[in-house]
Structure 1
Amino acid sequence: MQKVAMISGASRGIGREITEELARRGYLLSLGVRNPAGLYGHLDSLVFPYEARDPEAGRRWVDATVERFGRIDVLISNAGICKPISLEDGSDELLEETLDINVKAPFRLIQAALPHLRRAGNARVVQIASLSGKRVKNLNAGYQMSKHAVIALNHAVRRAGWDDGIRATAICPGFVNTEMAAGLADLPPEAMTQPEDIALLVANTIELPNSASVAEILVNCRHEDLF
């Protein structure tokens, strides 16, 4: 039986590469994107309008996925934003937007999908986090707070779903050659981790057996001491 994978933020960057890699491996895909117009899914895929700040969006997407495919085996929470929110002048509005999209949205999405993931017996949840969830290197406090929360959510999913065969992994990259990193990185695009590299890590991780669970994968394009 083909496995069903839900991928948020599937229209570009890391999400798009994950979509392509899982399609090559034969997964049925449910793609959550802010604007489905112009996004052509693979054969038999579901393209669903997913607005992360809408409190009901996750449940509607889960319901549509189950109605279409009858099951959920993999949930990949990739949608996220990175806006400058420093302690000195970060605005409450930007902080709320960041927490809504980076933290509350995946919480709601996982919560809605959890009963279906439990039934799969060997379901996988992957969250695209960040090295900013493992350390504080610059002054973007709001983004760092959100990604530290994503790491905590990942471990909460591992604990809650372990006995039912759910295995959860946080992928924590540094700079990845995407539109998000274009205005932030002090590296040329070719020196960054490439989106297809992250896609391979995700695809290989979700295919590990239940007895070889990986909680976190830290990915960097340059040496950095992490404690």
Structure 2
Amino acid sequence: MNEHSPIAMVSGGTRGIGLAIARELLAHGWRVSVGARSATDAFAGYSADQLRVYRFDAEDRQTETDWVAATVRDFGGIDALVHNAGILSTRSVVAADDDEVDRLLEVNVKSPLRLTRKAWPHLLAAREGKVLVMASLAAKRVRNADASLYALSKAAVLSLAHGIRHCGAEARVRCTALCPGFVATDMVAGLPLEQQQQATRPEDIARIARMALELPASASVAEIPISWTVEPQY
């Protein structure tokens, strides 16, 4: 670990997929700035030169500004931005009220958009800036009515990722959307036990995430769909 090691910001990095991504990057020489709503002891043993955890709440805009500023102050720049924080909904687009729709879009879509804007000058200044957006297979198909509102938000997230790709084209800032299906985190606790046991592991997502972040700009990948089972394509 040295001052030339790349720096990644990871939202929601204290549990689930975000925690796995942070640990994977740390294990391969990255310095990591984690944004989370509360403190954690998940990173015991890492030095402040390797990792720092800052307060970040997708429903509190000031924490977005503060997190970016603190990362640049303490690490000296930003090479990659990983949008992992998000919330789930099991309401349909017909049943959900406006408050739930607004909250889902605020956390899953608008906060990553604002964070990207705030980090953009630093990503442009990086040797090869990267953005990783955690979308979902839900962004690509609606499986049932109860998944439809969540799918709406993730479809918007996927479009955000493609928009970022185009904005960064000339400056060679690359963006990849990861689109996993069921992942073995607390978000799938309600699934049948057999499906929970077969679901993709967070560590698998983390390996793919690191690959996407470490690819050169000449090998940009727009989307990576990931599933624990073979799904029909439609």
**Alignment TM-score, normalising by the size of structure 1:** 0.95
Work out which of the residue numbers 176, 179, 183 in structure 1 matches 2:183: 176
Alignment-derived partner of residue 160 in structure 1: 167
Alignment-derived partner of residue 5 in structure 1: 8
Q: Does 1:121 align with 2:139?
A: no
Distance 1:157 1:88, change over 3 A: closer
In terms of mean alpha carbon deviation, does 186-195 or 126-135 score higher? 186-195
Residue 56 of structure 1, CA deviation: 2.4
CA–CA distance in structure 2, aligned partners of residues 133 and 121 of structure 1: 31
Q: Does 1:29 align with 2:24?
A: no
Alignment-derived partner of residue 202 in structure 2: 195
Alignment-derived partner of residue 71 in structure 1: 77
Alignment-derived partner of residue 143 in structure 1: 150
Task: Verify the 8 A CA contact 2:14 2:40 in the aligned structure 1.
Answer: no
Residue 134 of structure 1, CA deviation: 0.8
Alignment-derived partner of residue 16 in structure 1: 19
Residue 85 of structure 1, CA deviation: 2.0
Distance 1:190 1:184, change over 3 A: closer
Distance 1:99 1:156, change over 3 A: same
Gaps of at least 5 residues in structure 2 are none
| Alignment of structure 1 residues 199-218 onto 2, 5 Å | 199-218=206-225
Aligned residues: 227
Give the root-mean-square deviation of aligned CA atoms.
1.4
**Alignment TM-score, normalising by the size of structure 2:** 0.93
Residue 39 of structure 1, CA deviation: 4.6
Q: Secondary structure at the match of 1:172?
A: strand
Distance 1:38 1:181, change over 3 A: same
- Percent identity, please: 41
Q: Does 1:97 align with 2:103?
A: yes
Distance 1:121 1:163, change over 3 A: farther
Alignment-derived partner of residue 64 in structure 2: 58
Gaps of at least 5 residues in structure 1 are none
Q: Structure 1 residue runs of 4+, over 4 Å off?
A: 184-187
CA–CA distance in structure 2, aligned partners of residues 100 and 87 of structure 1: 16
Letter in 1 for 2:137: L
